[in-house]
């Protein structure tokens, strides 16, 4: 009886329509199956080319198969992880600047500052702007244990966010 019911159901349900695959560009190294630059390689494109590649990627995603969409998701996750690592490296570079700057004596008065001696003058000679110098000093104001925990967190703060935290701590003192 069960076999007869299954046979009747099979006759009632029409077979699925064949899926139409859209034509894709030949696959090249560093490109998706649709010929669009992969997310990781998009990072190195000039702004105009990046905008064009993003538009093409949106069109490709709109008509892609399930397996290809999973690949795009995996690439996006990998790129986000790469960006977090890159952000951590940038934070560590600014932390190091903040560690080095307090070792340079600050200008004791406006005349010393105008004559090019002091912390800000040394930072300027090294290529840092006064804003970058202040940012590094604010980040250095965050206690080391808290700073390390923030940098190694799943979603590390931006340089600006960490500097704002240090500035807030400095204002409390």
Per-residue pLDDT of 47-67, as tens digits, reads: 777 677 777 777 877 777 777
pLDDT in tens, 80-132: 777 778 888 889 999 999 998 888 888 888 776 777 778 888 888 889 998 99
Please state the pTM of the whole predicted model. 0.58
Distance CA 7, CA 13 (A): 10
pLDDT at residue 2, as a whole number: 57
> Which residue, chain included where needed, has tokens 């001696």?
117
Q: Do 102 and 128 form a contact (C-beta atoms < 8 A)?
A: no
Q: Answer with the residue of higher pLDDT: 82 or 166.
A: 166
């Amino acid at each position: 009886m069960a076999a007869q019911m299954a046979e009747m159901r099979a006759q009632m349900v029409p077979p699925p329509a064949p899926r139409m695959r859209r034509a894709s560009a030949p696959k090249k190294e560093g490109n998706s199956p649709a010929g669009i630059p992969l997310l990781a390689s998009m990072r190195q494109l000039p702004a105009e080319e990046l905008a064009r590649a993003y538009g093409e990627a949106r069109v490709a995603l709109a008509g892609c198969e399930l397996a290809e969409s999973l690949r795009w998701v995996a690439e996006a996750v990998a790129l986000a992880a790469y960006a977090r690592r890159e952000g951590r490296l940038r934070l560590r570079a600014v932390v190091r600047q903040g560690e080095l700057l307090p070792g340079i004596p600050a200008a004791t008065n406006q005349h010393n500052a105008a004559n090019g001696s002091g912390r800000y003058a040394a930072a300027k000679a090294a290529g840092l702007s006064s804003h970058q110098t202040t940012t590094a000093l604010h980040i250095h104001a965050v206690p080391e244990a808290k700073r390390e925990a923030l940098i190694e967190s799943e979603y590390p703060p931006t340089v600006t966010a960490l500097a704002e935290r240090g500035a807030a701590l400095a204002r409390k003192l």
